[in-house]
Structure 1
Amino acid sequence: MTTSAASSRTVLIASAETDLRSRFAEALQQAGHRTLEAARTSDLLGLVDNDQPGVDLLLLDLGLAGSEGVALVRRVRDDAGSLPIIVFSGSVSSADEVPELAALGVTGYVNEHSEAQQILPSLAPHLFPDSFNRRSSPRVVLAIPVSYRVDNTIAGALTLNISKGGLAIRTMSPLAVSTKANARFRLPGSNREISADARAVWSDRRVGMGLQFEQMDAGDQTAVDEFVDLHDESDPDASRLI
């Protein structure tokens, strides 16, 4: 399915990995979006300069700048102001980078290993933010791997978003409402595996399902709470530029 010209977006994909750029570019182009690619820092900075209007979203591999990923985001901010930035989650080198990236206005993370059919659902909230209504509980758009276990059956998928109380998961085989499961995932930049006993509270084969946390370790809950607080765009006191 393609988008109309009015809803088409221009997405800049910045990574030294040719396969990564090509996979994301192909998925976006097939949906009618325009893509630009940057394989080097100099290419990226040239394309986001204020004299080059029209980029709607930046997908950024922090590894493009070696160990200076946060500094690269800062340079992009200096040149491109409020351009929405999504970071490839695997390029976050440590948990210490996450609050710095949040302060610089990084709006979300996407799994660089996403399969073609998962790319557009993961990016849709960033491509069309006005179409995604926020609920009373703050949610952060996040596409990371998650596994969930029901009895002796384990399945894997990608998250759509996370809140302090649960996860939305992209899957074509959602659990029935009220089904209990154990979900496990790692937040960007962290080696901590979070484990949560949860229950399916909504289920839709066209979209996926929502898992509501029912029980988790206090340290895991704190990690989730802090991550959501750092990236909650509805918080007027959050330290962010966009």
Structure 2
Amino acid sequence: MTMTTVVIAAHDTDLAERFTAALTSAEHRAMAVTKYEALVERLVDASDRIDLVILDLQLGTCKGPSLVQSIRKIEHCPPILIFSSSVTSNNEARQLANLGVVGYVNEHCHSQQIISVLAPHLSPDSFNRRGSPRVTLGIPVSYTVGDSLNTATTLNLSKGGIAIRTMTPLELSSKARIRFRLPGTKHEIEADARVVWTDQRVGMGLQFESVDAVDQVAVDDFVDRHLDSATA
């Protein structure tokens, strides 16, 4: 396993330390900062390569997209992953897409799930299922099969489906009703989906089969914005 160096930048000390502890226990190098100035100091230190920043948009007096914009000005700025609850509106999510953030992570996930949620960024070569362009996205998702309701965390999202991190994937061709919210929105997207791939080490992929037109537009717009920013 390749060791990844990660800076967790959050105004909440407990949050920063929880993610730091999880990364360290998985033999990654993690550093917690709770001040904007400390984050900048880490990033400008040319002797210390940083592979990933996990950022709370409420870190300092400069907040939201303006915070990301200021960090992106630093030479050799690493990829930036956003704590999803720190996004306050859909407009902010649009601005963040234009600024090239690489994804979102749910800061409320259980400590034992942190490495699984971050896995696409810690070991990106292991997550190369590319049936269609997709955006890395670690947010809560629920899926219902019959009378059984399950909750998990997403791995990525495309216009045609979603990948979910779970150690107990459904059988191929199983059908499920899925629900999730895109970062910066309060609207819950719902879709009927079918399992098209499974992997005990990773999770499963579900293909959308029936989605409300408004929800499909929201997904398409989100994916397009983030793909455009990633290739800009």
Q: Aligned partners of 1:109, 1:46: CA distance in 2, in Å?
A: 23
Which residue identity is paired with 1:153? Answer: S
Is 1:34 the counterpart of 2:11 in the alignment?
A: no
Q: Does the Cα contact within 8 Å between 1:87 and 1:108 map onto a contact in 2? A: yes
CA spacing shift, 1:133–1:23, aligned 2, 3 Å: same
Q: What is aligned with 2:112?
A: 117
Q: Aligned partners of 2:113, 2:36: CA distance in 1, in Å?
A: 27
Is 1:78 the counterpart of 2:73 in the alignment?
A: yes
CA spacing shift, 1:136–1:151, aligned 2, 3 Å: closer
CA spacing shift, 1:131–1:180, aligned 2, 3 Å: closer
Aligned residues: 232
Q: Aligned partners of 2:96, 2:217: CA distance in 1, in Å?
A: 19
SS at match of 1:156: strand
Deviating beyond 3 angstroms after TM superposition, the runs of 4 or more aligned structure 1 residues are 50-53, 239-242
CA spacing shift, 1:156–1:239, aligned 2, 3 Å: closer
Q: Aligned partners of 2:203, 2:146: CA distance in 1, in Å?
A: 20
Which residue identity is paired with 2:154? Answer: T
Which of these residues, 61, 64, 78, is aligned with residue 69 of structure 1? 64
Percent identity at matched positions? 53
CA spacing shift, 1:241–1:104, aligned 2, 3 Å: farther
Q: Does the Cα contact within 8 Å between 2:141 and 2:153 map onto a contact in 1? A: yes
Q: What is aligned with 2:40?
A: 45
Q: What is aligned with 1:235?
A: none
Consecutive unaligned residues in structure 1, runs of 5 or more: 233-237
Q: Does the Cα contact within 8 Å between 1:8 and 1:33 map onto a contact in 2? A: yes
Which residue identity is paired with 1:113? Answer: H
SS at match of 2:73: helix
1:154-176 CA-partner distances (Å, limit 9, x unpaired): 11110111111111111122111
TM-score scaled by structure 2?
0.93
CA spacing shift, 1:134–1:154, aligned 2, 3 Å: closer
Q: Aligned partners of 1:216, 1:95: CA distance in 2, in Å?
A: 20
Bigger mean CA offset, 124-133 vs 52-61? 124-133
1:86-110 CA-partner distances (Å, limit 9, x unpaired): 0001110101011211111100111
Q: Aligned partners of 2:118, 2:56: CA distance in 1, in Å?
A: 15
Which residue identity is paired with 1:84? Answer: P
Q: Aligned partners of 2:73, 2:45: CA distance in 1, in Å?
A: 9
Consecutive unaligned residues in structure 2, runs of 5 or more: none
Q: What is aligned with 2:144?
A: 149
Which of these residues, 157, 170, 177, is aligned with residue 182 of structure 1? 177
Q: Does the Cα contact within 8 Å between 1:50 and 1:79 map onto a contact in 2? A: no
Which of these residues, 155, 160, 168, is aligned with residue 165 of structure 1? 160
CA spacing shift, 1:72–1:241, aligned 2, 3 Å: farther
Q: Aligned partners of 1:12, 1:203: CA distance in 2, in Å?
A: 32
